[in-house]
Amino acid sequence: MAGAVNTGRHRHPATVGLTRAMALLLALAGAAAMLMLRPAAHGPSASATSTTETFEQAYPGAKAELVKKTTDDGARLTPLFFADAKRFVGTASAEDGAVRFLLVTETGERELRRLPKVNTPEFAGFALDGDLLVWMELTTTPDGPAKTSLWAIDNFAAAPRLITSDTGDVALFDKRDDIVIHDGQLSWISIAPTEEPTTEVRTVALTGGPVDVRQQQGAFSFVGWPWLSSVNTPLDGPVELRNLESEERVVIGVQANELMACSPKWCRAIIISTTGESTIIELLTTDGRKRLRTATGNVAASIVDVALLDRFEVYSRGGGNLTLYDLELNKTVTIAANIGQVASRGPVLWWSTGDNETTQWRVLDLRTLIKS
């Protein structure tokens, strides 16, 4: 059942200004006595193996799956989120230009939503718990205001239902935990309309109803319930982790020329050389007990989330090669060459090859690598 949606801005984290980031750093400095600082000194305790294996060598029997390219009526299909290698949601255009939001499974495809092209609809912030799928719908109106609403299907055969339109000024980070499902509730991040950087943690029951708003000083994103991680800190800025249930706070110290992102267990440090000719990527545990170098050279992190399944890092290397660094095997594995786009949510990774006319997506459920 459709309903009214709120007026708000779909704020990408990059649009939170530098003044807000600086204010966050000042706030952290002032609170240093209250927090435990865990330094992240350079010099890994262990190094990645120098050998790069093929996917087949590292994971015998495992494989990436081809993704359906077109709908049953021939429209190009763009995948947005995978439950696993066989089930996903994506978008395709209708004959009248409307945007169709589709669920694709092994048994066929089903239209969940159809929105006019004039509203420039987008679907994001996906979360999955069993067969419960949740997402954000972002639209604009002819006079300009943006609208956001939160939707769900209770299983893959159910009809979509509106959970709430009271989403606030939503911040989406293109990561697994843009929405988190916990304790029969949904939580997400919005930006408070304040001069100082302030995060709103918004929570609503899965059944809908009133939205609870809890403010946190600073700019944060979810990194798995109940943890928040600071965002928008400049190069050399520390990362703060906050636990919403225990109120524990941890600050990860950052060295010069180092950009850090963290999950509750692992942090990824990207160290940029002064000449810009080489990059070093290291992983360290948030308790500071372990640090290892996982990649060097012409390399970049391909996704926002750190250490998928607490085991896999995903990197793009010069020449368009997609690689995994497997923390358990302590080796680098080449997945694909000549890649285009790369995306992940939770345990599923997918990527494209080819140009606009020949684009082919492939999907890999990382859980199958652990079983193999």
Q: What is the pLDDT of residue 318?
A: 84
Number of domains in the chain: 2
Q: Are residues 275 and 249 in the same domain?
A: no
In a domain, 288, yes or no: yes
pLDDT of res. 36: 36
pLDDT score at 130: 95
Full domain range(s) for residue 301: 49-66+263-372
In a domain, 21, yes or no: yes
Q: In terms of domains, do 127 and 219 share one?
A: yes
Residues 238 and 293 in one domain: no
Do 55 and 27 share a structural domain?
Answer: no
CATH number at residue 341: 2.120.10.30
88/242 Cα distance (integer angstroms) = 32
∠ CA(249), CA(253), CA(258), 5° rounding? 135
Same domain, 129 and 175: yes
Q: Is residue 109 part of a domain?
A: no
Instruction: Tell whether 199 is covered by a domain.
Output: yes
Residue whose C-alpha is closest to residue 350's, from 34, 51, 83, 4 = 83
pLDDT of residue 340: 94
Question: What pLDDT does 234 receive?
Answer: 65
- Return the pLDDT at 233: 64
Query: Which pLDDT does position 79 carry in this prediction?
Result: 98
**Residue 323 lies inside a defined structural domain of this protein:** yes
Give the phi and the psi of residue 67 in degrees, each rounded to 5: -100, 140
5 lies in the same domain as 135 = yes
The residue out of 255, 281, 296 marking a domain boundary is 255
User: For the chain, which residues score pLDDT lower than 50?
Assistant: 1-42, 44-45, 49-50
> Of 255, 283, 313, which marks where a domain is finished?
255
- Cα 299 to Cα 27, 148, 198, 319: the distances in Å are 33, 36, 34, 10
Residue 18 is predicted with a pLDDT of: 27
**Global pTM?**
0.86
Handedness of CA 198, 15, 351, 106 (dihedral sign): positive
Q: Show the tokens assigned to 263.
A: 């999950």
Question: According to the model, what pLDDT value does residue 47 have?
Answer: 53
Question: Does 127 lie in the same domain as 189?
Answer: yes
Boundary (domain end) residue, out of 224, 255, 286: 255
| Structure confidence at residue 33 (pLDDT) | 27
Q: In what order do the strands lie in the sheet with 360-365?
A: 65-66, 360-365, 348-353, 339-345
Structure tokens at 106: 């092994």
